[in-house]
Amino acid sequence: MAAPLWKLGRSTLASAALLAAVAAVAMAYTSGGGASRDSLISEMLSNFILVLGMQVFIGNTGVLSFGHMAFAQIASYATAVVAIPLAAKTKSLPDIPFGLESVQMGPLGATLFAVAVTTVAGAVFGVAVCRASGLAPTMITLAGLFVVDQVVKNWKELTRGAGGLSGVPRIEGNGWLWVGALIALVIAHLFQETRIGRFSIATREDELAAPALGIRLFTSRYAAWVLSVGLIALGGSLRAQSLGSVNPKQFTLDAGILILVMLVVGGMRTVSGAVLGTVLITAGNELFRQLGDPQRLGIERFPDLFLGGTMLLVMVLRPGGLLGDRDLAAWLRRRTYRRPATVEVEPPTATSALVAADVEVRFGGFVALDGAGLTVRPGEVVGLIGPNGAGKTTLFNVITGIVHEQGGRVTLGDRELTDSTPVDVARAGLARTFQNLRLFKNLSVRENVALTSLVAARHRRHRVRPQPDTLLADAGLLEFADRPAGTLDYGNQRRLELARAAALAPEFLLLDEPTSGMSDQESLAMVQSVRAVAARIGAGVLVIDHDLGFITRISDHIVVLNEGRVLAEGTPAEVRANPLVAEAYLGSSA
């Protein structure tokens, strides 16, 4: 109970501080006087909510969406059709459907109605967006934008078409916009502290590693999407009530890109970045608009020059945005980090064995695995070796659910893992590392491990779960805990990946070439690290490596693959003495 309150407090504090800074800038600006200055502040505040709405999805998941403006549009029109006074409505929308001719709501009712309608629409559409991968989600959102645009322009009974609707009762002053901005800030901050929010950040950092550690792409992305649409709806609704009118021109692709520029210039990964970007771009845009005024330079779309130039400079010089990963909330989180009380639990005795039997995999005509199999008993370290192209990595990928086998089966104890997805394999208790390092590079060293601990807390309850800091201390990484993982040196990154896998409290650790690119001395140290970690969590190990010295030192049992079949297996000494192995490795002359 204390933890959620603590998070809420931290989020509110960070939000209030940011908003106070913005308010100070705004007051300094408006004290110069003039209604136009007030309206620029209103514009900035509604942009603010829209940018934060985009940040929740785009910033946390790294999936680009062009369709957010479509939901701002739906919310604006939903607000308009219920908020416009009845007398005006019968005049401007005589044939309005759904019995809306007799509905009239106050500002709060209209806002809630718009947010509810839009969020439901977004939740349906989001299923399509979050199921797809690669560029498809971006294309789906783009298509969505055009569909909504055309429907709004042509469903004249409801929207009056391209001319738009006016006569939306205007809310007095900017008070409600400030409230809306505060709500958006707290929600955006809080989301980054929740379990599912942290998971969606992990999927942004590595789409492949996250599922391999038990994080489901769809669930975390979908949560971010729905929340994000809700915030966008709030922004759209408040903007309609602040301007007093809505029309399709406010929601074009260009309008959406303006909001996107605000997000990426400041730094999309953090809320602080989104805030900075909104203030800078709104101000810069206004400045260039005034400079391009007919009385001055007389250039109609001068702001485009500012937008394009700023974005180009930021992308070339600071692709992560001006703030990158610097974030007020993250700073607060670090300052208030409390080491969790260590819970002493008896080391578990693993009872299931990992068995892969008669596995067959063909890529087109090429037979990668032709009836290969292996068994790893509880707590045992098994080394998998073989010449290039023997099928080691393929077997590994079959076991972890990345490649699907055409024949054979994989079981963990009495649990069937054949044809499972990477997420289910990870949750069942197999944690893997990657040949070419797939850390969550922009996240802190501690967060890399803590994310897996979060998965373990839900899906690996029956096992002893080491604290992240314990694992970091074991790996000698505790002093770097607050640094971004990508800044560690190579050997430490390898050790971090091992600690991250161990945090899942798996029954087996699957290590794909843990010493690749390491010196002899380093790989010797790696033998110690792997054995220590495996003992700490009571897990068995399956390890692939090219380094024969490493494999013979670390393994209790070795399996030799050649041309998709098991060529030999046994203790390191037996395997070394086997003439078939020498032949496969060194050619017959040896």
Chain residues that interact with other proteins, rule: CB under 8 A: 62, 64, 128, 131-136, 139-140, 142-144, 146-147, 150-151, 154, 208, 253, 257, 260, 264, 299-302, 304-305, 307-309, 311-312, 315-316, 319, 393, 397, 402, 434-436, 438, 512
Q: What is the 3-state secondary structure (H, E, C) of 243-280?
A: HCEECHHHHCHHHHHHHHHHHHHHCCCCHHHHHHHHHH
Shortest approach of other proteins to residue 122 CB, angstroms? 14
Q: Which of 220, 445, 193 is nearest to 329 (CA)?
A: 193
Shortest approach of other proteins to residue 278 CB, angstroms? 17
- Separation CA 246–CA 240 (nearest Å): 6
CB proximity list for 381: less than 8 A, separation 6 or greater: 530, 531, 534, 540, 541, 543, 554, 555, 556, 557
Shortest approach of other proteins to residue 397 CB, angstroms? 7
Name the residue nearer to other proteins (CB basis): 50 or 260: 260
- Separation CA 412–CA 399 (nearest Å): 10
Structure tokens at 440: 């969550």
Shortest approach of other proteins to residue 217 CB, angstroms? 12
Name the residue nearer to other proteins (CB basis): 441 or 553: 441
Name the residue nearer to other proteins (CB basis): 244 or 320: 320
- Separation CA 431–CA 448 (nearest Å): 14
The H or E element spanning position 144 is: helix 136-154
Shortest approach of other proteins to residue 368 CB, angstroms? 12
Name the residue nearer to other proteins (CB basis): 435 or 578: 435
Q: Which of 155, 442, 138 is nearest to 320 (CA)?
A: 442
Name the residue nearer to other proteins (CB basis): 420 or 470: 420
What are the Cα distances from residue 175, in Å, to 36, 48, 68, 287? 17, 14, 25, 25
- Contact between 77 and 165 (Cβ < 8 Å): yes
Shortest approach of other proteins to residue 463 CB, angstroms? 25
- Contact between 452 and 443 (Cβ < 8 Å): no
Name the residue nearer to other proteins (CB basis): 93 or 148: 148
Shortest approach of other proteins to residue 253 CB, angstroms? 8
Structure tokens at 577: 């003495």
- Contact between 516 and 433 (Cβ < 8 Å): no
Shortest approach of other proteins to residue 229 CB, angstroms? 16
- Separation CA 501–CA 455 (nearest Å): 11
- Contact between 176 and 94 (Cβ < 8 Å): no
Structure tokens at 323: 């703030």
CB proximity list for 259: less than 8 A, separation 6 or greater: 47, 50, 51, 54, 68, 69
Name the residue nearer to other proteins (CB basis): 205 or 507: 205
What are the Cα distances from residue 90, in Å, to 99, 101, 154? 12, 7, 19
What are the Cα distances from residue 224, in Å, to 122, 198, 228, 316? 11, 10, 6, 28
Structure tokens at 460: 């690996």
- Separation CA 383–CA 397 (nearest Å): 16
Name the residue nearer to other proteins (CB basis): 320 or 378: 320
Exposure class string for 539-563: b at 16+ Cβ within 10 A, else e? bbbbbbbebbebbbbbbebbbbbbb
User: Is residue 432 helix, strand or coil?
Assistant: strand
Shortest approach of other proteins to residue 140 CB, angstroms? 5
Name the residue nearer to other proteins (CB basis): 48 or 434: 434
Name the residue nearer to other proteins (CB basis): 157 or 482: 157
Shortest approach of other proteins to residue 302 CB, angstroms? 7
Exposure class string for 34-73: b at 16+ Cβ within 10 A, else e? eeeeeebbbbbbbbbbbbbbbbbbbbbbbbbbbbbbbbbb
Shortest approach of other proteins to residue 327 CB, angstroms? 19
Shortest approach of other proteins to residue 389 CB, angstroms? 13
Name the residue nearer to other proteins (CB basis): 51 or 307: 307
Name the residue nearer to other proteins (CB basis): 366 or 590: 366
- Separation CA 384–CA 376 (nearest Å): 11
Shortest approach of other proteins to residue 361 CB, angstroms? 14
Name the residue nearer to other proteins (CB basis): 148 or 445: 148
Name the residue nearer to other proteins (CB basis): 320 or 387: 320
Shortest approach of other proteins to residue 171 CB, angstroms? 32
Q: What are phi and psi of 2, to 5 degrees?
A: -65, -35
